[in-house]
Chains A and B, each alone.
Chain A
Amino acid sequence: MAVPCHLLKVCGNIVFAAQGSDIHSFSSELEHISTWRYPVKQGAESTTPAAEVQESPAPEEPPAKRRKVGGGQEPTSNGGAAAPTDGQVKSRKAAQYDNPANERPFVQGLYATADGRHVVAITGSDKTIWVFEHDGAGKLKELSQRAMPKRPCSLAFTADNRTILSANKFGDVHALPLLPSPTTTTTSATTSSSPNPTTGLPLSRSATPSTPTATAFKPQANELTVHTKRNLKALENQKRSLSRKAFEDQQQQQQQQAPPPFEHALLLGHVSMLTAICVGTATVAVPAVAAQASEPGTSIGNGTGNGAEAASAPARTTVRREYIITADRDEHIRVSRGMPQAHVIEGFCLGHEEFVSQLCMAPGGREELLISGGGDDDLFIWDWVNGRLLGRSGVLEHVKRVAGEDVDKVAVTRVFGCGWQGTTAVFVVVERVPALFHYELLDDSRLQHRETIPLRGNPLDVDIIESPSGGQRLLVAMDPSASVSIEEGSSSLVVLDKQETGWKQTNVENLPACEDANISADELQKILYSTESLRKLTDFD
């Protein structure tokens, strides 16, 4: 099964494109420069399935998730001690096909720091965050790989580009240094249960602060907390079987849940699946006294004045503040303070009635505006500092013109803002709709639909590049298997040039071969089109 390019990131004049578990880089003329391939252990393909599962993929990765195999035979993921039976021989091919150890996780997120010197990627099933050094010419050097306890779904960088904020499926946001310092790795592991000095918060939500680790197992319930006859009896039994074995189990469990051996701090969390995170900055006018109390160096303008000035006049000064904005599956957009006060919730942007999947800070110096999209029929435009909804702009009505009138819902998968030919443009991708929607952000904060650009496949991601001649070009990653016509040859990377008659679509032909050949079409669909599945199906109380 051919895997298309599904993620794009333009970094200066270099294009990075993720295809399956590989990351390619291209020049601005879209000549292939190099490829980073997900490391797979040598010889893993040639060994028997039983041996494969015994091998752990990498020392710091958690064991891969067990998945059901098509043939009904489940590979034993813990040990593989079962003797080869006829059934196993028969399903050997299937097992190899779906074997978690054999599978290379897809790149699920591709990011670059503002200075373009580092590229960061998330890979899906192994929950790993990869940091690469970018030499500015398209070559990536792997600096670190950090396997998170829960699957990250979106990343952002703090304004100083030194910290990664990772939002995960469990609802938590962790802060990780972009470049892990080797000295802190050992200390952070031991201090994990004590409150973190920088945030004041314990590192893990479920870890009880300052619990001694070596206490013997003791049932938390007692005769006074359970009342029914059966529960009392169960408690009695539990106490009786309080033996060495129980103690060992407990210890083993604690070892399994040990935090990963690198510095990461829990900043905030939702009781929901996080879908997007971004960092916003705002210049806020504050009374001078308050500005002085805040961190030195953050205030600009007349904030550097001395105390006498502040005391004499009702002086107001401006402070540049950083915020963390998080969106979840339960319609919330939360605005929290930036580090180190991320535990303070400043407000919410409420109004969505379906999941939120995309957040986009308005480009072009309009950072007081936030555009959000998800399962609702519209995009929402927010004055996010004040949690005020400024406007909505329809998506479904334009999707209907492409996909037919009977379409009744949309799932926005990408909201990409950029400066475009002198205007502030927002390009929107909707899941399984073969078109790109172009909106313009007007001066009065309205978001106006400009045009719908029909495509030959379902777009997966979009970015812009400067063409060598100086103009701007749109770059679209798409799924060519859904192509409308194939006679022109299909490619999963397409360049769009605005011409007077319309859009000229040029395939990028020289894509390197992808090695992710052994993935079924169904599985690929599930990975590429995962947004609509966020919608709630409430058929129970």
Chain B
Amino acid sequence: MGRAKKDRRQKREDYRAALREDDVTELPRKKFYRQRAHANPFSDHRLIYPPHPDQMDWSSLYPDYVVDEPQQDQQTPAPETPSDRELTPARPKRISKDVEVADIGCGFGGLLVALAPLMPETLILGLEIRVSVTQFVEDRIKALRRQNEAAGLYRNVGVLRANTMKFLPNFFRKGQLAKVFICFPDPHFKARKHKQRIVSTTLNSEYAYVLRPGGIVYTITDVPDLHEWMVQHFEAHPSFERVPEDEQEADPCVPIMRTETEEGKKVERHKGQKHVALFRRLEDPAW
């Protein structure tokens, strides 16, 4: 058993290392990236996140959007006191536009890959808590960019490992996002695990914070109870209203969410039900 495990790990590492060679255009294979399906959102993972959205370095995720600007360090005089220097931490390279679409719990990245050509001018970010799965999406995007070098496709998608339940405001400023996708989230069937669900009364305030007024939260699940839960919690939140069904069906993202996510395909194979609900971020009330 132990030996088999070791062999498997060795194989994985070899495979992933080979894939990372510069000229490989082959798409990664899921079997070398499997990870158990659940992660505890309350534990302190070894996560990397910026202390403030301004300190987030997006340039490695979206290298084609990096703004070439002259290094200003030489021109401005050096700060006088040490505390001044701490206040202005090394600014990361700027990119020409902000991420506006986030896929929370992007899994193996099916939605990201399908959305990329649909909105080629918008930066899309997938967020995933599991290390190996994030690695898979990273390699997948890399391969897709290489395969479509001439067309310049998939330059606008990126993926990050993050615990969004805790650290969403570390990545996005207030009102930065136009769309947030929550696709086939972990259902957490047991009542005592409900607090780990990605949709809750108190977490919805954070989604409202990162979304601009008029922005949309897209949810889809194959679990009827979870669908009900998400609808109840978003409708109960004063910052959101449900998008009517005709408008929902007219949204081009909805069919993609139904058919292109990995879970969506799996549910399709098993002939399961898919429940979709969209919620619009309302203007904050006057006070």
Contacts and interface: CB of A to CB of B under 8 A. Distances in A.
Interface string A189-209: 000000100001110011011
Nearest to B53: A350
Interface string B196-238: 0000111111101100000000000011111011001100111
Contacts of B71: none
Nearest to B238: A200
A341 B225 contact: no
A332 B171 CA distance: 13
B189 interface: yes
B282 to A, nearest CB: 11
A290 to B, nearest CB: 5
A220 B239 contact: no
A225 B174 CA distance: 36
B38 to A, nearest CB: 13
Nearest to B223: A225
Interface in A522-541: 536-541
Interface in A272-312: 272, 290, 293-295
Main secondary structure of the interface of A (DSSP, over half): loop
B195 A206 contact: yes
A268 interface: yes
A208 B226 CA distance: 10
A538 B86 CA distance: 25
Contacts of A224: 222, 267, 270-273
A200 B287 CA distance: 15
B35 to A, nearest CB: 10
Given A205-B195, A205-B200, A220 B286 contact: no
Q: Which residue, of B41, B202, B232, has the highest number of chain A Cβ atoms within 10 A?
A: B202
A117 B202 CA distance: 33
Interface stretch (B21-29, B162-170, B244-252): B162-170
A208 B51 contact: no
A220 B45 contact: no
Interface stretch (A54-62, A104-112, A388-396, A454-462): A388-396
B237 A353 contact: no
Contacts of A36: none
A322 B170 CA distance: 24
Interface in A309-326: 319, 321
A124 interface: no
Contacts of A541: 45-46, 131
Given A344-B239, A389-B87, A220 B225 contact: yes
B236 A195 contact: yes
A343 interface: yes
B7 interface: no
A201 B165 CA distance: 19
Contacts of A221: 187, 189, 223
B202 A205 contact: yes
B222 A351 contact: no
B106 to A, nearest CB: 18
A63 interface: no
A294 B222 CA distance: 42
B30 interface: no
Given A331-B51, A392-B83, A344 B272 contact: no
B287 A202 contact: no
Given A220-B189, A345-B205, A392-B87, A353 B51 contact: yes
Nearest to B274: A224
A271 interface: yes
A537 B45 CA distance: 9
A352 interface: yes
A345 B41 contact: no
A321 B286 CA distance: 12
A271 B42 contact: yes
Q: Which residue, of B41, B189, B205, has the highest number of chain A Cβ atoms within 10 A?
A: B205
A341 B287 contact: yes
B284 interface: yes
Given A200-B238, A224-B222, A343-B237, A352 B229 contact: no
A271 B44 contact: no
A122 B52 CA distance: 33
Contact of B166 (A266, A272, A389): A272
Nearest to A196: B236
A104 to B, nearest CB: 30
A290 B286 CA distance: 6
Contacts of B51: 331, 350-353
Interface size class of B (residues with CB under 8 A): 35 or more
Contacts of A353: 51
B239 A343 contact: yes
Contacts of B47: 538
B3 to A, nearest CB: 23
Given A272-B166, A330-B166, A350-B51, A540 B45 contact: yes
Given A205-B200, A345-B205, A541-B131, A200 B236 contact: yes
A444 B229 CA distance: 50
A268 B45 contact: no
A245 interface: no
B285 interface: yes
B194 interface: yes
Interface in B86-111: 86-87
Contacts of A202: 201, 233, 236
A376 to B, nearest CB: 10
A348 interface: yes
A271 B285 CA distance: 25
Given A201-B201, A224-B270, A253 B287 contact: no
A295 B170 CA distance: 32
Nearest to A345: B209
Interface in B158-201: 165-167, 169-170, 174, 187, 189, 191, 194-195, 200-201
A116 interface: no
B266 interface: yes
A412 to B, nearest CB: 17
Contacts of A319: 287
A442 to B, nearest CB: 13
Contacts of A271: 41-42, 165-166, 202-203
Contacts of A539: 46
Contacts of B44: 536-538
Interface string B124-166: 0000000100000000000000000000000000000000011
A151 interface: no
A269 interface: yes
26 contacts: A171-B202, A200-B237, A201-B201, A201-B238, A205-B200, A205-B202, A209-B232, A220-B187, A220-B226, A221-B189, A222-B224, A269-B202, A270-B202, A271-B41, A272-B166, A293-B286, A294-B287, A330-B166, A330-B167, A341-B284, A344-B285, A351-B51, A389-B87, A391-B87, A392-B86, A539-B46
Ranked 9 nearest A-B pairs via Cβ: A269-B202, A224-B272, A293-B286, A345-B209, A350-B52, A271-B165, A220-B225, A536-B44, A206-B194
Given A332-B169, A351-B52, A352-B51, 15 more contacts: A171-B202, A200-B237, A200-B238, A206-B195, A225-B187, A225-B222, A269-B202, A269-B203, A345-B205, A351-B51, A392-B87, A537-B44, A539-B46, A540-B45, A541-B46
